[in-house]
Amino acid sequence: MTDRTVGLVGVGNMGGRMARRLVGAGITVIGFDPRAGAAEAVGARPVADPADVARQAAVVLMSLPDSHVVEPVVRGADGLLAGASPGATLVDLSTSSPASTVRLHAEAAAAGVRYLDAAVSGGAAAAEKGTLTIMAGGDADALAEIGWVLAPIAAAVHHMGAPGAGHTTKLLNNFLNGVSLAATAEVMVAGRKAGLDLERLLDVLNSSTGVNFATQARFPHIVRGDYLEGGLTGRLMTKDLALYVELVGRLGVPSLNAAGPLASFGLAENLGYGDQISNRVVDAIGDVAGGVRVHDQTEG
């Protein structure tokens, strides 16, 4: 083990891009992914299981779909806690349930291991460029000590507070992301059916009160036929929205605005778009609006 060694469990869409950034920064990456050859493909040194990752790296990152995957990776017989030495740091970059995260913090602490929930935002494009935003919960000193690990992958790191605070922040962000994407998709389909020039419509929206991330960063590409493939899938968006509803329910906050995006992304999944980028929600809405596409299909 060296001071420039990092473990990474999950080298898929996001984790693979982060692995390449770390390797490019001269860091040795010890990787585990159940898909044969996945770790090698991104420059990581493959090992047999998560416990082996923790045996060879004092800092281990996890880039996984949700708590249902994170929990056995941490707790299992071949999990990270089985291989980690006291003083090691486990970092969950996933979008996980804050309640599950708080329990894992406590279990890690009982084993003398530090745990950080450090959710990321910015999608595949930011992971590729190393400009992710990280929102972290847990020990502030532990977070500061792994700054050298996060520097190649993130442009901004925010310590949000106690265990679970990072994942709570991510769910709040992703709820707003889901609302704006679903609502903008509906508006774009309506604009197309009304005969509007969608690029002009976006110009108006982006200089008016309807402006949001989807109008600024997504739909200028989508109306030209580029769906920005490689980002968060529709199924994962639905998962994040469901976690948000669970969170606010526990907090006693009424969830008055979740039905719309849940319905939109649920429709997309039922129409076969669940494993495609969440931006395809616009096609699902277009399907039920009579087969509408917001881009010129002769161009893409």
Among 185, 198, 150, which residue's Cα sits nearest to residue 261?
185
Structure token pair of residue 154: 């993130």
170 has catalytic annotation? yes
Nearest CA to 31 out of 43, 132, 118, 91 is that of: 43
Q: How far apart are the C-alpha atoms of 264 and 260, rounded to whole Å? A: 6
- DSSP collapsed to 3 states, 266-291: HHHHHCCCCCCEHHHHHHHHHHHCCC
DSSP H helices, 76-195, are 80-83, 98-110, 123-129, 140-145, 147-150, 165-193
**In this structure, are residues 95 and 126 in contact, taking their beta carbons and an 8 Å threshold?**
no
Which position among 129, 170, 193, 239 bears the catalytic label? 170
At 247, list the tokens: 């969170």
Q: Name 157's bridge partners.
A: 134
* 134, 122 Cβ separation under 8 angstroms: no
Cβ neighbour number for residue 169 with a 10 Å cutoff: 21
Residues serving a catalytic function are 170
